[in-house]
Amino acid sequence: MRELIFATNNKHKLEEVRQLLEGKATIVSLAQAGLEGEIPETADTLQGNALQKAQWVWERTGKDCFADDTGLEVNALDGAPGVYSARYAGEHCTFDDNVNKLLDAMEGKTNRKAAFRTVICLIEGGEPRYFEGKVEGCILTERYGKGGFGYDPVFMPDRFAVSFAEMPLEVKNQISHRGLAVSQLVQYLANSK
Ligand code: IMP
């Protein structure tokens, strides 16, 4: 099976994406590829960050690899936190800090529409290619559920009555931003053999 290095230090994402690509590609973690250090993420778009992270791996290994970048885009906050979702509450903040800041910013807002958007950049033979996935939903007024990570406890996808954090991972993966972006990647990999 073909090997692809996934440029992430996030164990949850690694697990999610491994499950999504099971039987289609072997996902090699940064540690397995012998890579250490902070991956730069300084672009001001999701696409720019995904490219920057994948390029970091490509430059060090010359092996096919991909990276993803995700943002939570909240309508009532003019698309914030968006590309800054990881550092919304400050440089070294936790997922909890970010959720607290979001709940504060959304206090009293009636328009609670939001979307998660993921862009994946695959570098194959040095050439970048992009895949995108988006899921629409709304921001809840408090946390629900213990699963997932990040903003999962306060995001409820459209057509569901539970938060991402209340869903089994298999269900989240079928409808999530990253799940949809990875499906595009899978389709591409299946057709390009
Ligand atoms: P990243 O750039 O893909 O690492 O994502 C940026 C931030 O978005 C993360 O630090 C999380 O706070 C949030 N995020 C990304 N994916 C998810 C998800 O599936 N659920 C909840 N939050 C997420």
What pLDDT does residue 137 have? 98
Q: How far is the CA of 111 from the centre of ligand 1 (A)?
A: 22
Q: What is the mean pLDDT of residues 69-90?
A: 97
Question: Taking 90 as the threshold, does the pLDDT of residue 191 lie above it?
Answer: no
Cβ(3)–Cβ(190) under 8 Å? no
Q: What is the CATH number of domain 3-191?
A: 3.90.950.10
What pLDDT does residue 193 have? 61
Q: Which of 151, 175, 177 to mutate to test the pocket of ligand 1 (most atoms within 8 A of CB)?
A: 151
Q: How far is the CA of 91 from the centre of ligand 1 (A)?
A: 15
Q: How far is the CA of 187 from the centre of ligand 1 (A)?
A: 23
**Residue 33 to residue 92: CA distance in whole angstroms:** 26
pTM for this prediction: 0.91
**Residue 187 to residue 122: CA distance in whole angstroms:** 13
Nearest alpha carbon, ligand 1 atom 17: 150
In tens, the pLDDT along 15-68 reads 888 988 888 899 999 999 999 988 999 999 999 999 999 999 999 999 999 999
User: Which residues are annotated as catalytic?
Assistant: 69
Nearest alpha carbon, ligand 1 atom 2: 69
In tens, the pLDDT along 99-149 reads 999 999 999 999 999 999 999 999 999 999 999 999 999 999 999 999 999
Kindly list the protein residues whose Cβ atom lies closer than 6 A to any atom of ligand 1.
Answer: 10, 68-70, 72, 85-86, 95, 98, 148-152, 164, 176, 178
Looking at every residue in the chain, the average pLDDT score rounds to 95
Structure tokens at 73: 């885009």
Confidence of residue 185 (pLDDT cuts 50, 70, 90): very high
